[in-house]
């Protein structure tokens, strides 16, 4: 595990999460859950997670779930973020943004806010590519990731393994919160 970091009066141990593609993500260790003798970690990204949406004129913005890390869309997003002294990081699980983010102005939130399948997002930046508008949005709900603790970091729990372990973790969390 890495050293403990302090960020705005928030002390938590940090570690590196790796996925099956060799990508990593710097995370806070929020909680350890032991299931069937294995240590699983509930993690949150140190940097701000963001989601990429395609913005259509008439329809609701459309979440882009899969994107190649070298696509031109991300290069345009990087350029726009640099204008705000922010940096796009292509990490495991999600795209993240590092740098000083401004606190949202809640009066303006209505126009820059979307709901997508019970998740809420706030617009960080928008940009165009080939006459199509895109936006990077920050999820307003907590962004938790499940990893299996290994060596001095964690491995991302993905696909079938996640589907199997998720209900067990939720059950353990309910027991500890009761």
Over its C-alpha atoms, the chain yields an Rg (Å, rounded) of 17
Same domain membership, residue 71 and residue 88: yes
Same domain membership, residue 135 and residue 52: yes
Residue 28 neighbours by CB under 8 Å, 6+ apart? 5, 10, 12, 13, 14, 43, 44, 45, 46
Closest C-alpha to 35, from 153, 128, 146, 115: 146
Indicate yes or no: pTM above 0.85: no
Q: What does the pLDDT read at residue 101?
A: 76
Between 155 and 142, the higher pLDDT residue: 155
Q: In this model, does residue 46 exceed pLDDT 60?
A: yes
Q: What does the pLDDT read at residue 108?
A: 45
Query: Quick one: what percent of the chain has pLDDT higher than 90?
Result: 28
Q: What does the pLDDT read at residue 93?
A: 84
Same domain membership, residue 165 and residue 90: no
Same domain membership, residue 146 and residue 95: no
Average pLDDT score over the chain: 81
As for how many domains the chain has, the answer is 2
Between 31 and 5, the higher pLDDT residue: 31
Between 2 and 143, the higher pLDDT residue: 143
Same domain membership, residue 30 and residue 68: no
**pLDDT (tens digit, 9 = 90+) per residue, 86-136?**
999 988 888 999 988 766 544 444 445 566 555 788 888 888 888 888 999
Q: Cα(47)–Cα(90) distance, rounded to whole angstroms?
A: 11
Task: Give the domain range for residue 37.
Answer: 4-45+142-177
């Amino acid at each position: 595990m890495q050293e403990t970091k302090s960020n705005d009066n928030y002390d938590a141990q940090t570690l590196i999460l790796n996925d099956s593609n060799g990508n990593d993500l710097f995370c806070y260790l929020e909680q350890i859950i032991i299931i069937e003798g294995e240590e699983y970690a509930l993690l949150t990204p140190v940097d701000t997670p963001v989601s990429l949406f395609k913005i259509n004129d008439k329809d609701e913005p459309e979440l882009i779930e899969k994107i190649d890390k070298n696509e031109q869309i991300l290069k345009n997003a990087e350029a726009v973020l640099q204008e705000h002294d922010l940096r796009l990081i292509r990490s495991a699980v999600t795209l993240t943004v590092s740098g000083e983010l401004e606190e949202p102005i809640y009066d303006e939130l209505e126009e820059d806010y979307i709901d997508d399948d019970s998740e809420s997002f706030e617009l960080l930046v928008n940009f165009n590519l080939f006459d199509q508008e895109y936006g990077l949005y920050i999820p307003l709900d907590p962004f938790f990731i499940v990893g299996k603790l290994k060596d001095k970091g964690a491995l991302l729990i993905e696909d079938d393994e996640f589907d199997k372990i998720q209900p067990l973790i939720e059950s353990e969390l309910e027991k500890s919160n009761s």
